[in-house]
């Protein structure tokens, strides 16, 4: 930038040359230039107030990718500072009150202006989740999903909220300025209106309609794109994000690595890392990491989502024409909604569940993760607990998210726990399984349907749910224990008890929580609350560092949880495990995980069965159907996922055999 | 006709909400009796309850018709 650059007054000769090239100034003495300034590169320009101009040498890349000569052409600049190597051309009205960095190219714009006391989107208060208010989140540039989640969702801790609001205000106030910033390397082209917007380094803003009161965070290693027809008001957009193709964004925070486009409109919403939003609409939502909505007619309203996929026509309603739009919905991580699914809030959906149909009654299925939730014809919620545990979709989702992290740059603000199976989800399975067992034990066989938390389950499916959950719980716990045993064996087998011990720094809570995509023991959260409320954590930086430390402790905290859960489920204290017990545990894992993987294969196989081939070879004979299907969809045996699953089964067998041999040697 | 076959047919008819007379020895649950994906899961659960057995899911999900269900269940009895 030009802050440390020395600017000198124009020489009389330069002023005369500029005048001869159609330039005017309110006061030529207020126009200063850096060393190397070439007056020949400035024509038809008007200068008002204090204007500082860099060297203007060479060329600069434009938004379209062409190298264009640096200079100022047909532009009015008011109280602006320009760095070196800048091109400003064809400014319809003016650029006012901006510090423009080195290598910036601004062409074909209408108004670019910062007003006195601009906040650049910071401090904009948005009504997340509850449209009626009460969960307002005040935006600031460095907001993480964890910070926003606590501020929005934990209103039952008023002192915490008071402190977090103070942190947010402090951050917002720190950017207040009479001068906006357009960072080095920014390219702006064909934009009608930019008012009170800070634009970070290397961002491209090309064809946007209007950007008002916002910040575009961007850096050389994580450039941000704002594209055609975008209208954004009261916003912050994170690094490496793309807002394009007519998106309308108002009172909205878009985090890092997000994509919003194809006429999507968002209002009063927060989107965190790697969200994708096209075509549809969002209103007052908290879109945690990896919230995805791609289709028209999809309205996400007043809901909490993460790792979520919205089918076309997905819809919710947050009021019943009574006290206004005050109802909220919580879809925990990993959920999907089928085409034209509808939920009347309030509802709470457990992690990794699929929701189908039109639900007109409230339910809370948070203790029943991985469930199939389908509406009956009369709007009642029918649930098949745990059905999605061994579906191919769940497995594919779990594998794909970590590979689709589009965030770039040095600072990744949102902490993301990717594990599908974790103390959070497995803990819920344990709780759900206990509830199903109790219902099963206490329900007469003459009863067809039982009710749980507003939803209904066919009684015969209770035992299925228990089985599904048992399979998931066992697979997770045994896998974790075997991994530890493998670690001990690799070290020579002598340190089994040490390998199975909990770290002294680990924190155990039976209950785990998901804070904006970061999973942690409830005790860690309690400690964080206390530290903030007591003033021990007195600012945003230390708050975020504390969250980093919790994130770093995930594996050890998880292990502490596994030890407790293992004892509860299997009745065995891991401190007493011997080498021969280890072999038995390994064999149990082989059995249970092998079965689990086989079920996934069976589920994947349904994608290749006769029913799935319906409609193929429509102009051919019946005999052509299989050939058409094979040409389009391939074959079961050669499908990439099928091969991966088969390999996983083979690897599991190899893994267990290897471990058993190593244990025999150690014994 | 074995008792197992009769009971399998009865469970299938009740679970899939079809008339018992429609359920034949060789009826396929999906193609002939219209079982949806979830109903297949219900069928397995209903068979388990009717016969007081725990069916291996891998095998159970491979059961496509009344005849194979009878064979599969009798193995578990």
C-beta atoms of A599 and B57 within 8 A: yes
Confidence (pLDDT) at A489:
87
If pLDDT is split at 50, 70 and 90, which confidence band does A16 have? Answer: very high
The residues with which A61 forms a beta bridge, in sequence order, are A67
Alpha helices in A516-617 (DSSP H): 522-534, 540-552, 554-570, 579-605
A111 and chain B in contact, CB less than 8 A: no
CA distance B15 to chain A (A): 10
Q: Which residue of B has its CA nearest to A373?
A: B38
**A387 contacts on B by Cβ (under 8 Å):** 38, 41
* A96 found inside a domain: no
A372 and chain B in contact, CB less than 8 A: yes
CA distance A622 to chain B (A): 16
* A568 found inside a domain: no
Tell me how far apart the alpha carbons of residues A208 and A203 are, in angstroms, rounded to a whole number. Answer: 13
CA distance B43 to chain A (A): 9
CA distance B55 to chain A (A): 10
3-state helix, strand, coil in chain A (%, to 5): 35, 30, 40
Render pLDDT for A32-84 as a digit per residue (tens, 0 to 9): 999 999 999 999 999 999 999 999 999 999 999 999 999 999 999 999 999 99
Confidence (pLDDT) at A2:
47
C-beta atoms of B48 and A463 within 8 A: yes
CA distance B62 to chain A (A): 8
User: A326: which residues sit within 8 A by CB, 6+ positions away?
Assistant: A130, A131, A132, A318, A319
C-beta atoms of B38 and A445 within 8 A: no
A449 and chain B in contact, CB less than 8 A: no
Tell me how far apart the alpha carbons of residues A140 and A236 are, in angstroms, rounded to a whole number. Answer: 7
More confident residue, A440 or A493: A440
- Domain count of the fold of chain A: 1
Q: Which residue do the tokens 């994608």 mark?
A: A607
Share of chain A above pLDDT 70, in %: 99
Render pLDDT for B41-63 as a digit per residue (tens, 0 to 9): 899 899 999 999 988 877 787 78
Tell me how far apart the alpha carbons of residues A531 and A23 are, in angstroms, rounded to a whole number. Answer: 60
Helix (H) or strand (E) holding A364: strand A364-365
Max avg pLDDT among A153-167, A493-507, A580-594: A153-167
Least-confidence region, from A170-174, A216-220, B66-70: B66-70
C-beta atoms of A461 and B48 within 8 A: no
Phi and psi at residue A115, to the nearest 5°: -95, 160
Q: Which residue of A has its CA nearest to B50?
A: A460
Render pLDDT for A357-394 as a digit per residue (tens, 0 to 9): 999 999 999 999 999 999 998 889 999 999 999 888 88
What are A26's two structure tokens?
Answer: 């309110």
What are A632's two structure tokens?
Answer: 């389009």
Confidence (pLDDT) at A3:
58
Q: Chain B interface residues facing chain A, Cβ-Cβ under 8 Å?
A: 15, 30-31, 37-38, 41-42, 44-46, 48-49, 54, 56-58, 61-62
User: From the candidates A456, A460, A469, which should be mutated to test the interface with B, based on the most B CB atoms within 10 A?
Assistant: A460
Confidence (pLDDT) at A324:
83
Q: From the list B15, B30, B45, which residue is nearest A463 (CB)?
A: B45
The residues with which A270 forms a beta bridge, in sequence order, are A253, A286
C-beta atoms of A464 and B41 within 8 A: yes
Confidence (pLDDT) at A494:
66
* A69 found inside a domain: no
Q: How would DSSP label each residue in A392-405?
A: HHHHHHHHHHHHT-
C-beta atoms of B57 and A467 within 8 A: yes
- Domain count of the fold of chain B: 1
Write down the mean pLDDT value for chain A: 95
> Quick one: average pLDDT of A593-618?
86
Its domain, for residue B53, covers 3-76
Tell me how far apart the alpha carbons of residues A262 and A257 are, in angstroms, rounded to a whole number. Answer: 17
C-beta atoms of B45 and A464 within 8 A: yes
Render pLDDT for A180-234 as a digit per residue (tens, 0 to 9): 999 999 999 999 999 999 999 999 999 999 999 999 999 999 999 999 999 999 9
Q: What is the ipTM of this complex?
A: 0.89
Q: Which residue do the tokens 């930086």 mark?
A: A541
Tell me how far apart the alpha carbons of residues B35 and B17 are, in angstroms, rounded to a whole number. Answer: 9
Angle between helices A640-666 and A579-605 (to 10 degrees): 170
> Quick one: average pLDDT of A264-292?
98
User: From the candidates B31, B33, B37, which should be mutated to test the interface with A, based on the most A CB atoms within 10 A?
Assistant: B37
Q: Residue B49: is it exposed, middle or buried by C-beta count within 10 angstroms (0-12/13-18/19+)?
A: middle
Looking only at the bridges linking them, the beta strands covering A281-283 and A265-271 are: parallel
Confidence (pLDDT) at A490:
84
Tell me how far apart the alpha carbons of residues A562 and A478 are, in angstroms, rounded to a whole number. Answer: 9
What are A645's two structure tokens?
Answer: 């699953």
**B49 contacts on A by Cβ (under 8 Å):** 445, 460, 463
C-beta atoms of B45 and A599 within 8 A: no
What are A314's two structure tokens?
Answer: 């997905």
* A164 found inside a domain: no
Confidence (pLDDT) at B62:
75
Tell me how far apart the alpha carbons of residues A362 and A385 are, in angstroms, rounded to a whole number. Answer: 17
* A433 found inside a domain: no
Phi and psi at residue A27, to the nearest 5°: -150, 105
Q: Which residue do the tokens 């300034």 mark?
A: A37
For residue B8, the domain's CATH number is 1.10.1200.10
pLDDT over 70 at A117, yes or no: yes
Confidence (pLDDT) at A325:
86
Helix (H) or strand (E) holding A329: strand A329-331
Share of chain A above pLDDT 90, in %: 86
More confident residue, A475 or A393: A475
Q: In whole angstroms, how large is the CA radius of gyration of chain A?
A: 30
Evaluate whether A256 touches A242 at the Cβ level (below 8 Å).
no
Least-confidence region, from A115-119, A228-232, B66-70: B66-70
If pLDDT is split at 50, 70 and 90, which confidence band does B1 have? Answer: low
Render pLDDT for A332-363 as a digit per residue (tens, 0 to 9): 999 999 999 999 999 999 999 999 999 999 99
Render pLDDT for A610-624 as a digit per residue (tens, 0 to 9): 778 889 999 999 889
Tell me how far apart the alpha carbons of residues A529 and A196 are, in angstroms, rounded to a whole number. Answer: 35
Tell me how far apart the alpha carbons of residues A386 and A276 are, in angstroms, rounded to a whole number. Answer: 27
pLDDT over 60 at A25, yes or no: yes
Tell me how far apart the alpha carbons of residues A494 and A499 are, in angstroms, rounded to a whole number. Answer: 9
User: B36: which residues sit within 8 A by CB, 6+ positions away?
Assistant: none
Its domain, for residue A631, covers 593-666
pLDDT over 50 at A250, yes or no: yes
pLDDT over 90 at A265, yes or no: yes
Number of Cβ pairs < 8 A linking chain A and chain B: 40
* A625 found inside a domain: yes
* A635 found inside a domain: yes
Render pLDDT for A412-451 as a digit per residue (tens, 0 to 9): 999 999 999 999 999 999 999 999 999 999 999 999 999 9
**B45 contacts on A by Cβ (under 8 Å):** 458, 460-461, 463-464
Listed residue (A91, A95, A56, A58) closest to A79, CA to CA: A95
Tell me how far apart the alpha carbons of residues A393 and A639 are, in angstroms, rounded to a whole number. Answer: 15
The residues with which A509 forms a beta bridge, in sequence order, are none
User: A579: which residues sit within 8 A by CB, 6+ positions away?
Assistant: A493, A496, A663, A666, A667
* A477 found inside a domain: no
Evaluate whether A139 touches A122 at the Cβ level (below 8 Å).
yes
Confidence (pLDDT) at A458:
94
**B48 contacts on A by Cβ (under 8 Å):** 460, 463-464
**A598 contacts on B by Cβ (under 8 Å):** 58
Q: Residue A667: is it exposed, middle or buried by C-beta count within 10 angstroms (0-12/13-18/19+)?
A: exposed
């Amino acid at each position: 930038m030009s802050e440390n650059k020395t600017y000198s007054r124009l020489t009389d000769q330069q002023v005369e040359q500029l005048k001869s090239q159609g330039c005017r100034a309110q006061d030529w003495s207020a126009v200063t230039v850096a060393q190397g300034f070439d007056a020949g590169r400035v024509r038809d320009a008007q200068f008002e107030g204090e204007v500082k101009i860099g060297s203007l040498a060479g060329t600069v890349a434009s938004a379209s990718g062409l190298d264009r000569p640096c200079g100022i052409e047909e532009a009015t600049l008011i109280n602006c500072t320009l760095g070196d190597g800048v091109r400003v051309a064809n400014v319809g009205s003016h650029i006012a009150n901006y510090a423009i960095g080195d290598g910036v190219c601004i062409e074909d714009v209408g108004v670019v202006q910062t007003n006195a006391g601009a906040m650049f989107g910071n401090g904009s208060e948005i009504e997340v989740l509850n449209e009626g208010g009460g969960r307002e989140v005040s935006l600031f540039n460095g907001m993480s999903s964890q910070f926003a989640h606590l501020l929005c969702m934990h209103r039952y801790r008023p002192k915490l909220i008071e402190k977090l609001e103070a942190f947010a205000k402090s951050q917002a106030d720190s950017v207040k300025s009479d001068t906006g910033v357009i960072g080095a390397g920014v390219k702006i082209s064909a934009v009608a209106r930019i008012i009170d917007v800070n634009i970070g380094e290397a961002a491209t803003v090309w064809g946007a309609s209007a950007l008002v009161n916002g910040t575009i965070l961007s850096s050389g290693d994580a450039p941000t794109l704002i594209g055609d027809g975008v209208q954004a008001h009261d916003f912050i957009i994170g690094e490496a994000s793309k807002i394009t193709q007519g998106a309308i964004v108002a009172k909205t925070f878009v985090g890092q690595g997000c994509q919003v486009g194809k006429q999507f409109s968002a209002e009063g919403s927060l989107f965190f890392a790697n969200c994708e939003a096209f075509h549809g609409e969002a209103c007052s939502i908290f879109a945690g990491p990896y919230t995805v909505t791609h289709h028209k007619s999809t309205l996400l309203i007043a809901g909490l989502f993460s790792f979520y996929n919205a089918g076309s026509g997905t819809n919710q309603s947050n009021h019943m024409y009574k006290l206004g739009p005050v109802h909220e919905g919580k879809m925990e991580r990993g959920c999907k909604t089928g085409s034209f699914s509808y939920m009347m809030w309030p509802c709470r959906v457990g992690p990794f569940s699929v929701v189908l149909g039109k639900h007109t009654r409230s339910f809370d299925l948070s203790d029943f993760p991985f469930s199939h939730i389908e509406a009956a014809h009369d709007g009642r919620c029918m649930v098949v607990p745990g059905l999605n545990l061994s579906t191919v979709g769940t497995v594919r989702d779990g594998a794909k998210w970590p590979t689709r992290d589009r965030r770039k740059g040095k600072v990744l603000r949102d902490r993301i726990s990717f594990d599908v199976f974790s103390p959070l989800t497995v803990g819920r399975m344990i709780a759900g399984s206990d509830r199903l067992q109790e219902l099963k034990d206490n329900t007469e066989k003459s009863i067809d349907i039982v009710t749980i938390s507003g939803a209904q389950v066919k009684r015969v499916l209770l035992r299925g749910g228990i089985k599904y959950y048992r399979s998931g719980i066992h697979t997770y716990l045994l896998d974790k224990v075997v991994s530890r045993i493998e670690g001990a064996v690799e070290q020579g087998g002598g340190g089994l008890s040490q390998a199975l011990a909990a770290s002294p720094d680990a924190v155990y809570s039976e209950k785990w929580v998901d804070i904006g995509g970061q999973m942690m023991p409830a005790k860690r959260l309690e400690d964080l609350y206390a530290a903030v409320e007591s003033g021990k954590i007195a600012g945003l930086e230390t708050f975020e560092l504390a969250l980093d430390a919790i994130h770093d402790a995930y594996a050890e905290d998880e292990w502490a949880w596994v030890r407790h859960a293992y004892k509860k489920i299997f009745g065995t204290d891991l401190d007493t495990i011997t080498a021969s017990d280890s072999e038995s545990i390994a064999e149990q894992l082989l059995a249970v995980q092998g079965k689990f993987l086989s079920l996934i294969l069976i589920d994947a196989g349904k994608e290749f069965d006769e029913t799935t081939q319906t409609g193929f070879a429509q102009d051919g004979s019946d005999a052509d159907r299989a050939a058409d299907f094979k040409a389009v969809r391939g074959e079961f045996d050669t499908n990439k996922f099928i091969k991966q699953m088969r390999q996983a089964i083979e690897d599991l067998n190899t893994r267990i055999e290897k471990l058993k041999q190593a244990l025999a040697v150690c014994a | 006709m074995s008792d197992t076959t009769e009971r399998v047919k009865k469970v299938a008819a009740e679970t899939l909400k079809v008339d018992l007379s429609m359920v034949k020895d060789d009826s396929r649950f999906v193609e002939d009796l219209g079982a949806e994906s979830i109903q297949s899961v219900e069928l397995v659960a209903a068979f388990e309850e009717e016969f007081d057995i725990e069916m291996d899911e891998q095998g159970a999900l491979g059961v496509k018709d009344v005849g194979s269900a009878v064979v599969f269940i009798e193995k578990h009895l």
